[in-house]
Structures are given as C-alpha cells and as structure tokens.
Amino acid sequence: MYYYRYDNAEVSCCYKYLMFSYNIIFWLAGVAFIAVGFWAWSEKGVLLDLTQVTRLHGFDPVWLVLVVGGVTFILGFAGCVGALRENICLLKFFSGVIGFIFILELTMAVLAVVFQSQVREWINDFFLANVRGYRDDIDLQNLIDSLQRMNHCCGAQEPDDWDQNVYFSCNGTHRSREKCGVPFSCCITDPADSPGVVNTQCGYDVRNSPKSQWNSHIFTKGCIAALEDWLPGNLYTVAIVFIVISLLQMVGIYLARTLISDIEKSKFPY
C-alpha cells in the first residue's frame, strides 16, 4: 500500500474565520444603517415621491446614513463571502477599498491642517446653505437644532445669519410669525422652565430688539467659532477616535492580505 504526501499549504482556518467574524459585524451594521435610512425616508414620504430628494435645498442627513450603510454593506459582504469561498478577487477588492479609504482619510486630515482658512470658509458656506434649507427637511432641522443646543451657538458666524432663511429673515414683505427671530435651539434655557418642556417660541422677534440685549435671551456666538473653541480641548478624543478607526482598517487589510497569501500558496504551490 502506498501513501501519498501532499505538500500544498492549507488555508489557515484561524485567519479565515477571523476575517469572516470581522466582516459579519460590518455587514450587519451596513444592513442596520440602510434600514434606518429607508425608514427615515418613508417617515418623510420620500419613498412615495422621489422628486422630494431633488427639491431639498440643504443637506439631507439620510443621504450620509445610506452612503455609509451602502459602503459598509458592500465591504462586509465582499469580506464575508471572500473569506468563506476563499475568493481572491473579493478579498483583493475588500483590502483595496479599505486601503483607499484609509489613504483618503489621511489626505483629508492633512489638507484640513494645511488649508485651514479654506476649510473654515467651506464649512461656513455649507452651514449657511443648510440654514436656508432649515424648514425643508425635518432631519436637517433636528441636526441644526442639536448642533446649536449642544454647542451653545446660533448661526454660522452670528444670529443674523438666520436672515438667510426665508422664514426668519427680517427682510422682505413675508408675514411669517418667525420673522426677525431665530430657532428655539438658539435660546438660552430659562431656569424657571419645567424640565423637559421646550419653549419653541422663545426665539420669536428676538432680532427686533437691540443687539446689546440679545445675550440675555439667545446664544450670540456663531457655530464656526464654537467648533474652533471645542476642538483644542478635545484633540485627544479626536486623535483616539482616528487611531481606533485606523487600527480597525489596518486589521482588516492585514487579515485579507494574509488570507490571500494562504489561498495563493494552497492553490498555486509552485
């Protein structure tokens, strides 16, 4: 009786199932993001009238949720199937896209540091564009309100930036009750108000009064300045988040490249 000895290397089960486990989390996260995005659109009636997407003047946060969910879903799917089926093409696609995203993040971080004035101007223009679309989309409205309340700010540079919005503008002949006002999220909380009760009319007619009286009713600092004040005190937090994300990406690339190497050795030993 003769026994044959095969010298072909085997694919490491450890790396294979680590790669699968790593990606199944991202695949499920992608499914969750996509589900939340479509749920938000269904609540706003966008799915019944897709033309609403093109009519929005500001940034719809649902787009960000859907894009992140879509990319995460595709990468998770490619990683899972590539690992289980030992598909070199899918694994190379996974590692290539993750590597591209990592380089893109580094490039954006460097450009943000080098071109600070241009970035500040872009953020200012972006914020003003969304101020104009404040009443067009409920998710955008909630996002701006959260930003202003959390950072105790109002407008991009100052409360008068709300003149950019047709409902809050002091200019023109419109008869909006919010004319010459600001959103409630600009208001300084009154200690006499009951906890959990929000006075949504607190910003009405505020900008009709002299500017010297504004700081007793509303936040007068712009959100761009508030962001600039927040960043230096939270550099360590930002750095830790960036490092954790980078490490997760590097782990994914390492697992994919190691698995590719094992598969190539087992299939093409010579």
Asked whether residue 2 is assigned to any structural domain, the reply reads no
Residue 2: pLDDT band (50, 70, 90) is: very low
Tell me what pLDDT residue 113 has: 85
Range of the domain at 130: 11-42+60-136+244-269
The predicted structure's pLDDT at residue 133: 87
Domain for residue 221, yes or no? no
Q: Is the pLDDT of residue 77 over 90?
A: yes
The answer to whether position 212 is within a domain reads no
Question: At 30, is the pLDDT very low, low, confident or very high (cuts 50, 70, 90)?
Answer: very high
How many separate domains does the chain show?
Answer: 1
pTM of the model: 0.77
**Region 74-95: what's the mean pLDDT?**
92
Domain membership of residue 54 (yes or no) is no
**pLDDT exceeds 80 at position 204:** yes
Contact criterion met (CB below 8 Å) for 18 and 91? no
Crossing angle of helices 13-44 and 138-151, rounded to 10°: 110
Average pLDDT over the chain reads 85
| Residue 184, in any domain of the structure | no
Q: Give the three-class secondary structure for 218.
A: strand
B/e letters for 79-91, b = 16+ CB within 10 Å, e = fewer, are bbbbbeebbbebb
90 found inside a domain: yes
pLDDT at residue 20, as a whole number: 92
pLDDT in tens, 154-191: 999 999 999 999 899 988 677 788 889 999 999 998 76
Residue 217 in any domain: the answer is no
Task: Note the pLDDT of residue 6.
Answer: 44
Helix (H, G, I), strand (E, B) or coil at 259: helix
pLDDT tens track for 227-251 = 989 888 888 898 899 899 999 999 9
Residue 123 domain-assigned (yes or no):
yes
Q: What is the pLDDT of residue 28?
A: 94
